Amino acid sequence: MNLHHLRLFRAVAADGTLTGAARRLNLSQSALSTQIKGLEASLGHDLFERRGRSLVLTEAGRIALDHADAIFRTAEDLAAVMRETGNVRRALRVGALATLSRNFQMEFLRPLVGRRDVEVILRSGSQAELLRDLDALALDVVLTNMAPPREADTLWLVHQIGEQPVSLIGTPKRVARRKMQVLLRDEGLVLPAKDSALRGAFDALMARYGVSPHIAAEADDMAMLRLLAREDAGLAVIPPIVVRDELTSGLLVEVAQLDGIREHFLAVTRERRFPNPVVAELLTKP
């Protein structure tokens, strides 16, 4: 068995027929069939079963395909690293949860600003999309505030890179000299979405206080929470880093930190034989 056999096997698995795969590979159907049979003999299992005119993976075939994909991903990773060796610039591919604070993202990447030897490629998306790309080696690191699920065969490495208190923040005219529990009861609140860890912690705090809050708005995007606070839609429950510029300018003020609620910022990487050294620089910065 060698990489050539696995490449042909993947082509047949992708096409579902010997005829189509042979055409794409510029091989005769008989030659391709011989190679696949040789691979099956070396593994000791049938990899395909015929259903009509199509070839469908057996259970052994699915396992073999998973391993073949992993082998080729590793080979592609190696080739990419070797191509970049000696280059002046190195690419860093960063995925960031679409709802994550832009200010936090900038803080993480700040050590790279102005460096001529690093090209930062930044994309946003959902947690599932970003983890898929990280698994496929299309990303080097994912920034998030939600820990990915850990399973027995997980390849994720989860690094906590920061945490922030969560505060009650609003415009100066909305904030009066009242106790926080009174504000929470009487003022309209701008809250994170119900499926967020931050909202769960806030709801638990309200239960402890015995307060039924008036919800003026809720959003799953920190940028939208920031805009709603600026527009005086209500008192926002957000980490101060999200509205750092507004707090500095006085456009918004921090009323109080919420007891026991903190936002955790995580960097998720994947076990790799050739990790991007720029990621290690960022994760070990003081």
Give me the pLDDT at residue 152, please.
59
Give me the pLDDT at residue 86, please.
53
The dihedral built from the CA positions of residue 227, 176, 196 and 260, taken in this order, carries a sign that is: positive
Query: Which pairs from 71-79 meet CB under 8 Å and 24+ separation?
Result: 71/3, 71/6, 72/3, 72/6, 72/7, 72/10, 73/136, 73/137, 74/273, 75/3, 76/137, 77/137, 77/272, 77/273, 77/274, 78/273, 78/274
- Counting as low any pLDDT under 70, the low residues of the chain are 1, 77-89, 151-154, 175-178, 286
